[in-house]
Amino acid sequence: MTETRENKQSIESASITLLCQAREGAIARLPREAGQGATVLCAPQPLAVATAQRLFPDRRIEVKTLYAEPDLGTATGFTDLRLVRWMLLPSSGGESAEEARRRVVDTSVRLIEIAKSHQDPVLVAGPALLRLVAFKLNAIGFMGGFLLGFKPGERRVFRYQV
């Protein structure tokens, strides 16, 4: 019982930051956040890695394919519309909805695991994955913006609500 109460208290005081990878020309203008902190989870896309390295030069950066953008297939258009279309009817050339759902759950679990250790985790990734993770975090009690898509370089903070 005590362990459950302690975990709940550590989650209540934690925040999770989702940060969209910046555009190539904007990375050099991002302000550095020097000093130690929680591990930064990072997608393998070159822009995501460059964004994380620029912003968090003193932190450990965990780059994994788990945090990569979902493959929405070859359809064109705004990411938000492509994501909704893919969620309703995934294209045959893209990632299956089940595979992406599993990666979103695993990513959310990793973020919460870091938050439980009394640190504020950061995920640097592309807009489609961040949108899916934002939906998941809101579904499990972390409040933050999830209706609008992420813009390059945009940061959103999610806090647990009882």
Return the residue matching tokens 């009882």: 162
Residue in 120, 97, 159 with CA at minimum distance from that of residue 41: 120
Residue 84 has a pLDDT of 63
The reply to whether CATH 3.50.50.60 applies to domain 2-155 is: no
- Give Cβ neighbours of residue 112 (< 8 Å, ≥ 6 apart): 11, 16
- Within 13 Å, how many C-alpha atoms sit on residue 85's CB side? 15
Residue 112 has a pLDDT of 93
* DSSP codes, 54-115: HH-TTS-EEE-GGGSPP---S--S-HHHHHHHHHHS--TTS--HHHHHHHHHHHHHHHHHHH
**Model pTM score:** 0.84
Residue 99 has a pLDDT of 87
Mean pLDDT by 10 residues, the chain (162 residues): 49 86 95 92 98 96 95 61 63 75 95 91 95 92 83 94 74
DSSP class of 29: G
Residue 21 has a pLDDT of 97
Crossing angle for the helix pair 97-116 and 127-139, nearest 10 degrees? Answer: 70
Domains of the chain, by residue range, sit at 2-155
Burial level of 147, CB count in 10 A (0-12/13-18/19+)? exposed
